[in-house]
Chain A
Amino acid sequence: AQRVTQPEKLLSVFKGAPVELKCNYSYSGSPELFWYVQYSRQRLQLLLRHISRESIKGFTADLNKGETSFHLKKPFAQEEDSAMYYCALRDQGAQKLVFGQGTRLTINP
């Protein structure tokens, strides 16, 4: 069965420091992976998806099939990055998204 694991519930770093939010998955097929973000008092929104291979707000994520990981990285954290981050996997058989438990990122000034 498909599963997404985010091992860190909370992550706190200082402004300007590098950030890495971990995501591991289990899926029998070819995975399609996403990062969603929820800023305070806002809707959950798509941050990036692995197939587009783009950088959004300085964040990147690389799919590592060998390690079944899709970690989210940013070299220099900013205070506005404080939010809840969710890793998600698309179950292509049923066309639905499976989410991880989420990581709350706090950037300290």
Chain B
Amino acid sequence: DAGITQSPRHKVTETGTPVTLRCHQTENHRYMYWYRQDPGHGLRLIHYSYGVKDTDKGEVSDGYSVSRSKTEDFLLTLESATSSQTSVYFCAISESGTSEAFFGQGTRLTVV
């Protein structure tokens, strides 16, 4: 498996609280992505990064922010969690924009 880990793996939080999910890679890949997986919607891109401090929005970025201060870490923050953000979140990495994407194990987030 590619060296990519997500933390935490499971989290339950209350509506209105901030939450940060971490994606850590040991592959020195340039590209990192955050997706959410929901039944009936498949995987939808939230944000992605193409280098340190270089990020861009995906199709469902509202309510989320990201930061990448180091090559190996890509953080996803929910500033004020809502029940609609209950989902499974996947991080992915890619050496270049044209190469295979490797996925983390996922983080199951429940907002109550």
Contact = CB atoms under 8 A, between A and B. Distances in A.
A102 B59 CA distance: 17
Interface string A76-89: 00000000001000
A90 interface: yes
B45 interface: yes
B31 A101 contact: no
Contacts of A102: 42-43
A95 B35 contact: no
Contacts of A97: 33, 45, 92, 101
Interface in B28-57: 31, 33, 35, 40-45, 48, 50, 56
A32 B41 CA distance: 21
Interface residues of A, number: 20
B56 A46 contact: no
Q: Taking chain B's interface residues, is the majority helix, strand, or loop, or is none over half, making it mixed? A: strand
A99 interface: yes
A99 B42 contact: yes
Contacts, number: 53
B42 A95 contact: no
Nearest to B4: A43
Contacts of A86: 42-43
Interface in B46-83: 48, 50, 56, 58-59
19 contacts: A9-B40, A43-B104, A43-B106, A44-B90, A45-B103, A46-B101, A49-B100, A92-B97, A92-B98, A94-B56, A95-B50, A95-B96, A95-B97, A95-B98, A96-B48, A97-B33, A97-B45, A97-B101, A101-B40
Interface of B: 1, 31, 33, 35, 40-45, 48, 50, 56, 58-59, 90, 92, 94, 96-98, 100-106
Given A44-B43, A96-B58, A98-B45, 17 more contacts: A43-B105, A43-B106, A44-B90, A44-B92, A86-B42, A95-B31, A95-B97, A96-B33, A96-B45, A96-B48, A97-B33, A97-B45, A98-B59, A99-B44, A100-B42, A101-B42, A102-B42
